Amino acid sequence: MSIEKSAEIAARFDRLPPSRTLWTMVILISLGGVFEFYDLFFTGYVAPGMIHSGLFTPESLGFFSALGPLKVAGFGTFVFATFAGLWVGALVFGQVADRYGRRMIFTWSLLWYMVCTIIMAFQTTGLGLNLWRFIAGIGIGVELVTIDTYISELIPSGERGRAYAVNQFITFSVVPVVAFLAYILKDTRPFGLDYWRVVILIGSVGAIVVWFLRRHIPESPRWLARNGYVDEAERIVADIERRITAEKGTTLPAPRAVPLEKAGQGSLGEVLRPPYLKRTVIMSIFNMAQVIGFYGFAAWVPTLLINRGVHVTASLGYAFVIAIANPFGPLIGTWFADKLERKTQIIGGLLIMGIVIVLFSQASQPWLLIVLGVLFTLASNVMSYAYHGYQAELYPTRIRARAVGFVYSWSRIAAAFAGLASGILLHGYGVPGVAVFIGVSMLVGIVMILLGPATRGLALEKISQ
């Protein structure tokens, strides 16, 4: 009964027209993602302050100093702890949203992040700082997986592309805010605290407001029906239909039938078996490849600029200008997100990233470096929203969070070591060495996406077949 009801609900959702009701849900979900992105991107901007505080001496780091043989030392241990936490959150705990529901995990993972990050901001040793960074990273990893899963199930098939573009436009809007806060607060002590502690706390305090706002988002009716909560699923769908009908002043079109999903509860093992094994391998390799370009450039912008001859002080200002471009990639994408195949958008973004980073490695004029940096950022963020939506579409409701968490987790662990590799290449071969590393990774990502299925405009249940 729940399988048939789940298919009926999916069909009713997919026939809903664009409306304020649906976009309000997207915005509220996205506001939670704002603070996850705030947390991810403040790392590079607070690094100087943390290092100046003397938190990364071997004595202060405790057992984290054992990472030395891996060439991870000093501030690198903080970066490692960040992505290790994200990896554990995505891989081990990402699947809890399949068991307990999207809304519950979506809400409580943000609370987890807030509490852990506030505690982290007041640590006085490298050991304590890294330990709480790791624990907070678990909450962020769960949150990002759940957001991708949630949006795919709440938005009609014809609007999913734009929904992810709007989601990332909102979340990426915080990146220039982080850059600006770090720039104006550097070398100050607001409220008697080191500036980097204040930068961290601002994100946590803002997240408290969003935590209250997001309580009004409904649970995914697809998940509810799939797990036997048919009456609650029916109530939520009927309420959304009623509100959209009143908003539009017209009768909703009749739903079109969608395929029935397989009965039974899913498991992580199903993600690693046919018919989903191929998709899992493709997206796992893709995630490891794309993150080398995405975070490899974003995290190293000031350093790359310095290596191209830009003065260290000016590099922070130029990096801020480049950071401003972050939300505009997804904003531009709203024009074509549902008109072009998802694969085309991902491949186009990767191709531009590969070409631009090569040009960047050869440029020396400041204005040209900024232009190329902005182009790289725009392309990477088009690629980002497109693949976040794409990987969530490839799996059925019963294993969607598990699958997204598994394939996404490889980008987290790859990011931890990609930063290390970029540093080694930069030291040995300069910016051209980093450019080759990123360019080859983009080619690997393109090949993987070419092997995946098309998804544009299709019901989730049709794609998962």
pLDDT in tens, 17-45: 989 999 999 998 888 788 777 877 777 67
One-letter amino acid for residue 297 of the chain: F
For residue 204, the number of C-alpha atoms closer than 13 Å in the C-beta half-sphere is 19
What are the φ and ψ backbone dihedral angles of 253, each rounded to 5 degrees? -65, 160
Residue 272 to residue 293: CA distance in whole angstroms: 27
Q: Is residue 180 classed as helix, strand or coil in its secondary structure?
A: helix
Predicted structure pTM score: 0.89
pLDDT one digit per residue (tens) for the chain, 465 residues: 467 878 888 889 888 898 999 999 999 888 878 877 787 777 767 777 787 788 888 888 888 787 777 666 677 788 888 888 989 988 888 888 898 899 888 888 888 888 998 999 999 998 999 999 999 989 888 888 899 999 999 899 889 999 999 999 999 898 888 878 877 887 788 888 888 898 888 888 777 777 777 777 899 998 998 888 889 999 999 999 999 999 988 888 888 877 777 766 778 889 999 999 999 999 999 999 999 888 777 666 655 566 566 554 556 667 777 778 889 999 999 999 999 999 999 999 999 999 988 888 887 787 788 888 889 999 999 999 999 999 999 999 889 999 999 999 999 888 877 766 776 777 777 777 888 888 999 999 999 999 999 999 888 888 887
Amino acid (one-letter) located at 166 = V
Using the structure block, give the residue that is written with the tokens 């098309």.
454
| Closest by CA position to 257, among listed 464, 8, 6, 2 | 8
Asked if residues 267 and 350 have their Cβ atoms less than 8 Å apart, the reply is no
309/273 Cα distance (integer angstroms): 51
Contact yes or no for 108/420 (Cβ under 8 A):
no
Cα 204 from Cα 276, distance rounded (Å) = 38
Residue with tokens 């030291």: 427
